[in-house]
Structure 1
Amino acid sequence: MDIAERLASLATKVRQQKASIQTEEATKNAFVMPFISLVLGYDVFNPNEVVPEFTADVGTKKGEKIDYAIVKDGEVQILIEAKTVGAPLGINHASQLFRYFATTNARIAVLTNGEQYHFFTDLDRPNRMDDKPFLQLDLSDLDDSLVPEIQKLTKDSFDLDSVVSAAEELKYIGALKRVLALQFREPDAEWVKALTARVYEGPITQKVREQFRTLVAKAMKQFLADQVNDRLKAALGGQGYGEPTAPLTGESAARESVAEAVEEADRGIVTTFEELEGFQIIRAIACSEVPPSRIVHRDTKSYMGVLLDDNNRKPLARLHFNTGQKYVGLFDEEKNETRHAIETPEEIYNFAEHIRKSVHYYD
């Protein structure tokens, strides 16, 4: 199981169990320790690798403890402070991390509530933890582009220099992506005003602002759809839609998903959280055989199809989640579908070998 699969597995666990977690200690046991062991690969029961309740005297503060210190090559490399799942992760909740960061050799500090993980280093001032994280990992909304950066912190691939050197770019790219995502969901007044001023020559009255708020939102959705269409035309090379000449890139697949979501809403297709969870599990399984960008989904009113290369002739599975009983549909070499009853999307892992085998029917 690679790191992407391990993250997907932990994300499923968090989604299923977080409603029943009420305390910080329960959060650490249920989510944070599995992150350290399952995802990062450190032995949480070996004090030479993971030190719980790590203590170091800090100035006049004696006997303060931080939840976990991860040791590599005999030195403390990563400090982790945990809060209760669902708790906010503002910088005001990281006072102990600030103090410990300055008194140990650690260059990485992590503030987490078991679902979100904020990673800090000392970009602004040496040996002083930054106020803002350089990387934010959210298990409820996994960003595949962050997986290689998490890989660098694992026991087998620990590469502190590479993490720190990439931290500044990650910090600002992550912040810009969050700003853009927010504006595409709901453009604010400044964004609308800036775009309106570039295309409208008259006075910008309240009525004009209200009119352009709607127009800006529509234009951005149409812009994404146009970008997807242009890239698809180039990828398909003029052939029929179901016969791409080359796999879609991760970027085009991501943009296509946005456009499809808009189009599907217009057609009355509702993509549920459980369907997306099932798709992510199938992709996590199949990415051991092919790049994740080649595995995409297409939702319909009756089922969600999971396809290789976005090609209807290359089905990997179907998720029939729109009735009381859920089914995952799997295919044989002749593309005959067999439905298997399941209770939760996590049970799809039971069919991992079949899904991996299905990839090789076409590849």
Structure 2
Amino acid sequence: MDFIDKLTELSARIQRQKESVLTEEAAKTAFVLPFIQALGYDIFNPEEVIPELTADHGVKKGEKVDYAIQLDKQKVILIECKPVGSDLEAKHAGQLFRYFSVTEARFGVLTDGIRYVFFSDLEKENKMDERPFFEFNLLQFSESNVDELKKFTKNFFDLQTIISTASNLKYFKALSEEIRAEFDSPSEEFVKILTGRVYPGRFTQQIKDQFTELTQRAMRDFIRSRVNERLKTALETDNHENVAEIQKREEVTEEDLNKVNGVLTTEDELEAYRVVRAIGAEYVDPERITMRDAKSYCAILLDNNNRRPICRLYFGKSKMSVSIFVPENETKIDINKISDIYRCRAELELAIKQYDKHS
């Protein structure tokens, strides 16, 4: 099973179980240990995954870090766990700060079993930074997030490689947050800088109010223009979407961009989707079963939520298969014709019912 598939499977489990995981110990057992295992570490080997590592600090004796990951007899990652839903900011990482300074580990992770916040000592050696350089959320992640997380897996772990990119990750994240904040609500400082470049007069309160609104409108117009440029480029591709109509929309969805970038849903995929929907109609409202196509596969989801996958269709020129997300596993079944999907009724039922307690 690929790394991203392991994470998707764990994400589906969290969706099902998070309401029942109420304590820190439950989060560690149900979510954190499977996450460490997905990274490729042997959670049953105490020389590789050390639970309750004692990390004495000054006058504080007997303090323990929840888990330490060790490679070649060197501790490389410290993990401190909190209950699901806990704040995971630097001010809540006091224990992790103390553990970090008395071990050789270069990475500290604060987690509630769903979010994993990664810290290092990029600013001052052997002192954990207050600002994390990376965060991974098991309920909301992209392929680029997975690529970054993969660097921490046992097979790919290389300290120098991670350290060399961690600084850029950290400040890129910080800059992204600042840009998002300015986009949502431009600060006086930001508005004043831009105003000074286009308006020669004094920056009075009246001018501030006027240019704050203008700045916000200009930024939104810029983003819309860039999206339109991408859509216009797509006019050169052979697809069945009316690009001009998409350009008129107030918001452009991911599915719109997929369609104009060469993702073509085949008749076989549409027929297979109708079969899955017909089977699923016995258990849920068929309107809840949706399809989201991509270049490498066609996903069938519950509630149009990519964290609720029912199955994926892998339809090549010479081979067809259906990968069904049954609880705790993913079952891949080769088929010769679309009607063969009816033979997967039991697996599809399990895949659908796992997300809906009322089904």
Common fold: TM-score over 0.5? yes
- After superposition, the Cα gap between the structure-2 partners of 1:342 and 1:175, relative to the gap in structure 1 and judged at 3 Å, is closer
Partner of 1:356: 314
Q: Which residue type is aligned with residue 356 of structure 1?
A: Y
Q: Distance in 1 between matches of 2:173 and 2:307?
A: 33
- Which structure 2 residues correspond to residues 15-54 of structure 1 after superposition, within 5 A? 15-38=15-38, 40-54=39-53
- After superposition, the Cα gap between the structure-2 partners of 1:218 and 1:139, relative to the gap in structure 1 and judged at 3 Å, is farther
Deviation of residue 56 (structure 1)?
3.1
Partner of 1:174: 173
CA contact (8 A) 1:152 1:160 kept: no
CA contact (8 A) 1:328 1:348 kept: no
Partner of 1:206: 205
Give the secondary-structure state (helix, strand or coil) at the position aligned to 2:70: strand
Q: TM-score, normalization: structure 1?
A: 0.69
Partner of 2:156: 157
Q: Which residue type is aligned with residue 30 of structure 1?
A: A
- After superposition, the Cα gap between the structure-2 partners of 1:324 and 1:351, relative to the gap in structure 1 and judged at 3 Å, is closer
Percentage of pairs with the same residue? 41
Deviating more after overlay: 112-121 vs 14-23: 14-23
Q: Distance in 1 between matches of 2:118 and 2:225?
A: 36
Unaligned runs of 5+ residues in structure 2 are 278-283, 320-359
Q: Distance in 2 between matches of 1:139 and 1:330?
A: 20
2:249 aligns with one of 241, 250, 263? 263
Q: Distance in 1 between matches of 2:301 and 2:140?
A: 26
Deviation of residue 24 (structure 1)?
1.7
- After superposition, the Cα gap between the structure-2 partners of 1:43 and 1:308, relative to the gap in structure 1 and judged at 3 Å, is farther
Deviation of residue 75 (structure 1)?
2.0
Partner of 2:290: 328
CA contact (8 A) 1:89 1:111 kept: yes
CA contact (8 A) 1:79 1:110 kept: yes
Q: Distance in 1 between matches of 2:102 and 2:171?
A: 27
CA contact (8 A) 2:301 2:309 kept: no
Deviation of residue 175 (structure 1)?
0.9
- After superposition, the Cα gap between the structure-2 partners of 1:117 and 1:345, relative to the gap in structure 1 and judged at 3 Å, is same
Q: Which residue type is aligned with residue 192 of structure 1?
A: V
Q: How many residues align?
A: 302
Q: Which residue type is aligned with residue 309 of structure 1?
A: N
CA contact (8 A) 2:22 2:83 kept: yes
Give the secondary-structure state (helix, strand or coil) at the position aligned to 2:249: helix
Deviation of residue 349 (structure 1)?
4.1
Give the secondary-structure state (helix, strand or coil) at the position aligned to 1:297: helix
Partner of 2:229: 230
CA contact (8 A) 2:12 2:308 kept: no
Give the secondary-structure state (helix, strand or coil) at the position aligned to 1:78: strand
Q: Distance in 1 between matches of 2:132 and 2:239?
A: 42
Partner of 1:89: 88
Q: Distance in 1 between matches of 2:225 and 2:263?
A: 20
Partner of 2:256: 298
Partner of 2:261: 309
Q: Distance in 2 between matches of 1:36 and 1:134?
A: 19
- After superposition, the Cα gap between the structure-2 partners of 1:141 and 1:216, relative to the gap in structure 1 and judged at 3 Å, is farther
CA offsets, 1:299-333, max 9 Å, x none? 9xxxxxx759344555867899xx954123499xx
Q: Distance in 1 between matches of 2:145 and 2:50?
A: 26
CA offsets, 1:44-81, max 9 Å, x none? 22212211111133333221111111111222111001
Q: Which residue type is aligned with residue 4 of structure 1?
A: I
CA contact (8 A) 2:238 2:262 kept: no
CA contact (8 A) 2:75 2:105 kept: yes
Partner of 1:276: none
Q: Distance in 1 between matches of 2:34 and 2:103?
A: 24
Q: Distance in 1 between matches of 2:304 and 2:217?
A: 36
Partner of 1:277: none
Deviation of residue 164 (structure 1)?
1.0
- After superposition, the Cα gap between the structure-2 partners of 1:223 and 1:340, relative to the gap in structure 1 and judged at 3 Å, is closer
- After superposition, the Cα gap between the structure-2 partners of 1:191 and 1:156, relative to the gap in structure 1 and judged at 3 Å, is same
Unaligned runs of 5+ residues in structure 1 are 244-255, 272-295, 300-305, 332-336
Q: Which has the larger radius of gyration?
A: 2
Q: Which residue type is aligned with residue 122 of structure 1?
A: D
Deviation of residue 154 (structure 1)?
0.3
CA offsets, 1:188-238, max 9 Å, x none? 33323322332233333333333333322222122112123324434544x
Partner of 2:57: 58
Partner of 1:292: none
Q: Which residue type is aligned with residue 311 of structure 2?
A: F
Q: Distance in 2 between matches of 1:124 and 1:359?
A: 53
Partner of 2:7: 7
Q: Distance in 1 between matches of 2:140 and 2:307?
A: 20
Q: Distance in 2 between matches of 1:85 and 1:194?
A: 42
Q: Distance in 2 between matches of 1:324 and 1:159?
A: 48
Partner of 1:133: 132
- After superposition, the Cα gap between the structure-2 partners of 1:15 and 1:221, relative to the gap in structure 1 and judged at 3 Å, is farther
Deviation of residue 341 (structure 1)?
9.2
Give the secondary-structure state (helix, strand or coil) at the position aligned to 1:224: helix
Deviation of residue 133 (structure 1)?
1.5
